[in-house]
């Protein structure tokens, strides 16, 4: 059985999507697509990675002190129990957040596969995401670092993204 610890990075400050997003309620906690917040969508996507040979633990979230209760409440609404909340006193970008998440995931003496995702993205095809992530999880058990990305394309002057 492959042990997976989901890590959700949700430390945004709410400054780029003003006036919808603001310091006390940044974009990852808004419902921009569908009826669920971007954070809740990320948590649910990761929760659905379980299958016959993949066991997904409760998520680790990395967020600021100001947003910990918002994140915990949205997980509760989604029916997902919080594994661990790592609270950044100030934003320090991705590398320190991932280091803390990896140390927290290994605290129980295990070495799970970490599946890391930002909390402020939307996925148009969740089924394809699940299949791609399950394949990536299997690849990660070979001591590989696996990165999934999308290929940008230009469409009518707008950048859109398609899975690669």
Instruction: Give the whole-angstrom CA distance, residue 36 versus residue 52.
Output: 27
pTM of the model: 0.84
- First CA to last CA distance, the chain: 28
Does the pLDDT value for residue 18 go beyond 70? no
The pLDDT value recorded for residue 52 is 94
| Poorest-pLDDT segment among 58-67, 74-83, 124-133, 150-159 | 150-159
pLDDT, tens only, 68-101: 888 999 999 999 999 999 987 767 778 888 898 9
The pLDDT value recorded for residue 35 is 85
Strand segments (E) across 40-125: 54-56, 60-64, 84-88, 113-118
Encoding tokens for residue 39?
Answer: 């954070």
User: In sequence order, what are the residues at sequence separation of 6 or more whose Cβ sits closer than 8 angstroms to the Cβ of residue 20?
Assistant: 27, 30, 32
CA triple 145-151-154, angle to 5 deg: 160
The pLDDT value recorded for residue 25 is 63
Residue 112 DSSP symbol: P
Instruction: Give the whole-angstrom CA distance, residue 156 versus residue 128.
Output: 25
Does the pLDDT value for residue 134 go beyond 80? yes
Instruction: Give the whole-angstrom CA distance, residue 118 versus residue 133.
Output: 14
CA triple 49-51-57, angle to 5 deg: 55
Mean model confidence pLDDT for the chain: 84
Task: Grade residue 8 by pLDDT with cuts at 50, 70 and 90.
Answer: very high
CB 136 within 8 A of CB 163: no
Q: Hey, where are the domains in the chain? A: 2-163
Task: Grade residue 15 by pLDDT with cuts at 50, 70 and 90.
Answer: low
In CATH terms, the superfamily for domain 2-163 is: Spore Coat Polysaccharide Biosynthesis Protein SpsA; Chain A (3.90.550.10)
- Phi and psi at 44, nearest 5°, equal -65, -40
Side-chain half-sphere exposure of 7, counting CA atoms within 13 A: 21
């Amino acid at each position: 059985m492959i042990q997976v610890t989901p890590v959700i990075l949700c430390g945004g400050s709410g400054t780029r999507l003003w006036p919808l997003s603001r310091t006390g309620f940044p974009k990852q906690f808004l419902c921009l697509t569908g009826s669920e917040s971007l954070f809740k969508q990320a948590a649910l996507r990761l929760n659905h990675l379980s299958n016959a040979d993949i066991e997904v633990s409760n998520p680790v979230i990395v967020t600021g002190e100001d947003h910990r209760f918002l994140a915990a409440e949205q997980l509760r609404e989604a029916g997902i129990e919080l594994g661990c909340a790592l609270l950044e006193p100030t934003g320090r970008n991705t590398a320190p957040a991932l280091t803390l998440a990896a140390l927290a995931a290994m605290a129980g003496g295990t070495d799970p596969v970490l599946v890391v995702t930002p909390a402020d993205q939307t996925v148009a095809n969740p089924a394809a995401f699940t299949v791609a992530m399950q394949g990536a999880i299997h690849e990660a058990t070979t001591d590989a670092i696996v990165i999934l990305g999308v290929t940008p394309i230009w469409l009518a002057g707008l950048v859109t993204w398609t899975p690669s």
